[in-house]
Amino acid sequence: MNILIVGCGKVGSQLSNVLSRMGHDVAVIDQNPAHFSSLADDFSGYNVTGVPIDQDVLRRGGIENCDALAAVTDDDNMNVMVCQLASEIFKVPRVLARVYDPRRGNVFSHFGLHTVCPTNISVDAIYSMLTGRDQVKNVYLDSATVSFDADEPDAKEIGLTLGELVLRNNAKQGLFGLLHADGNLTLAHPNSTEEVGPDDRLLYAKVID
């Protein structure tokens, strides 16, 4: 894929390095040329210095031919403006903005912009570690948002096989799999013979957008 990364800070440089090693064609835009020193020696893409919301700068970064764009600067407004330009003017198929303010992320998602909020991700992780429980997590698949939630099995479900739970008429909808106490996951399938234990958790998925 041809991928354009806007912002070459800690996240942008690391993301660019990973994508480059995976064989993607990567271009990076940043206002500060000193930030490009964070790119790995084996980075095979190229960089462009300039203001990301300047359309000429975006064109120099190859936006007219890119398949995806991620705006990961430290400025929420900058990231959203870049994504709007990419989506509405240059018709980039996949655009993603990093936003630090959860309230902005919720607002922007209503306008069809996919966002990743490090604040929410950190809160979810810390909450789970502090309480030993799983917080609802969202995964973005193209234009759909899938929400995952884990729940302890009730007394009637313990001892049943995962396949039996899938086939039961009164089973909860969206059963995705079984999370074991050791961290392993068994995917839900009608033929699964994996038994539900008292320390296991049932993982459910639903499309919320």
Q: How far does CA 88 lie from the centroid of its chain?
A: 22
Antiparallel, parallel or unpaired: β 144-151 and 137-141: antiparallel
Q: Which of 97, 122, 207, 127 is nearest to 105 (CA)?
A: 97
User: What does the alpha-carbon distance between residue 12 and residue 43 come to, in Å, rounded to a whole number?
Assistant: 13
The total of other beta-carbon atoms located within 10 Å of residue 138's CB is 15
Share of the chain above pLDDT 70, in %: 79
Element (H, E) at 6: strand 2-6
Banded model confidence at residue 118, pLDDT cuts 50, 70, 90: confident
Those residues whose C-beta lies under 8 Å from the C-beta of residue 125, and which sit 6 or more positions away, are none
Q: What is the pLDDT of residue 83?
A: 92
User: What does the alpha-carbon distance between residue 12 and residue 16 come to, in Å, rounded to a whole number?
Assistant: 6
User: What integer best gives the mean pLDDT of the chain?
Assistant: 84
Using DSSP, how many helices (H) and how many strands (E) does the chain show? Answer: 6, 11
User: What does the alpha-carbon distance between residue 136 and residue 144 come to, in Å, rounded to a whole number?
Assistant: 16
- Domain residue spans in the chain? 2-119, 134-207
User: What does the alpha-carbon distance between residue 20 and residue 207 come to, in Å, rounded to a whole number?
Assistant: 32
Q: What is the pLDDT of residue 7?
A: 96
Q: 3-class DSSP state for residue 20?
A: helix
| 158 phi/psi in degrees, rounded to 5 | -65, 130
Those residues whose C-beta lies under 8 Å from the C-beta of residue 17, and which sit 6 or more positions away, are 39, 40, 42, 43
Q: What is the pLDDT of residue 98?
A: 87
- Residues 40-97 have pLDDT tens digits of 999 999 999 999 999 999 999 999 999 999 999 999 889 989 999 999 999 999 999 8
- Residues 128-138 have pLDDT tens digits of 666 655 555 66
Class for the domain spanning 2-119: alpha beta
Share of the chain above pLDDT 90, in %: 44
Beta bridge partners, 70, equal 5, 96
pTM of the prediction? 0.66
Residue 171: pLDDT over 80: no
Residue 163: pLDDT over 90: no
One of 3.40.50.10860, 3.40.50.12500, 3.30.70.1450, 3.40.50.1460 is the CATH number of 134-207, namely 3.30.70.1450
